[in-house]
Amino acid sequence: MEELLKVENICVSFGGLQALSNVSLSVDKGEIYALIGPNGAGKTTLFNVISGFLAPTSGKVFYNGREVQGLPPHKLTPIGISRTFQNIRLLPNVTVLDNVRLGHHIRLKQNMADALFNSRRFREEEEKSIEDAREILRFVGMEKYENEFARNLPYGHQRKVEIARTIATNAELLLFDEPCAGMNSAEKVGLSELILEINKELKRTVFLIEHDMRFVMKLSEEITVLNQGQCIAYGTPEEIQEDPDVIEAYLGVGRKGGQE
């Protein structure tokens, strides 16, 4: 398969704290890839590096063969990297439709003069943006909420709106940071189905962080495991479940001399 994202020997230090140490991984086009690990392992720190919210202390990030580490988010999104966050970042007092339309912003060619004088380009792009946002809301099953303020939606619905906004950017690589957080079992099943549809029908590559191991093992094709800022395992879900270093990282050292 063709490589889409390559992370090469990424290190991140905060003063005397080494958050990431020589982390490397590779995500191929068209796959669903997962990053897992105990709390504090450095997963979100790595996502922040990939998505431009944090510059690494050292190391490189390549997207489609282009070196991109250190580029800010507003330059990474147009070339194909978009993300969600652990804490949902919707505009609470804005409608669901307009929250999704925000994802289109990077693709609009209109300028201040177009908006001021209500130019033909402005009107056409606004109409197309509304049409596209409605289509995306239909895709994620949220079309009936388009005129609701985001703050009025339950948590699981807000998460879907945030995912819809990432789709609206038209990015090829979608980074989902703990998409299951706060969801019940039924919502997780629905989210798993939605991510599969995003991957298969929309042809997007999905890279996710998640703590729900059942969700990860069922959905992902390949997994990297971080612990204390270092990669300790890489492989298929089956390989990861049997890896002794992963078991130790999650469950402790196991039985030694009659002790847990």
CATH T-level assignment (fold) for domain 87-170: Rossmann fold (3.40.50)
Domains 1-80+171-260 and 87-170 share a fold: yes
- Partners of 256 in the β-ladder: 259
pLDDT tens column, 181-215: 888 899 999 999 999 999 999 999 999 999 898 99
pLDDT tens column, 231-243: 999 999 999 999 9
pLDDT tens column, 45-66: 999 999 999 999 999 999 999 9
Mean pLDDT for the chain overall = 90
**Number of residues that this document lists for the chain:** 260
CATH T-level assignment (fold) for domain 1-80+171-260: Rossmann fold (3.40.50)
Taking the C-alpha atoms of residue 29 and residue 1, their distance in angstroms, rounded to an integer, is 7
106 neighbors 166 (Cβ within 8 angstroms): no
Q: Where are the domains of the chain?
A: 1-80+171-260, 87-170
Higher pLDDT, 102 or 59: 59
Say which DSSP state 45 is in.
H
- What are the tokens at 163? 């995912």
> Which residue in this structure is represented by tokens 């300790």?
232
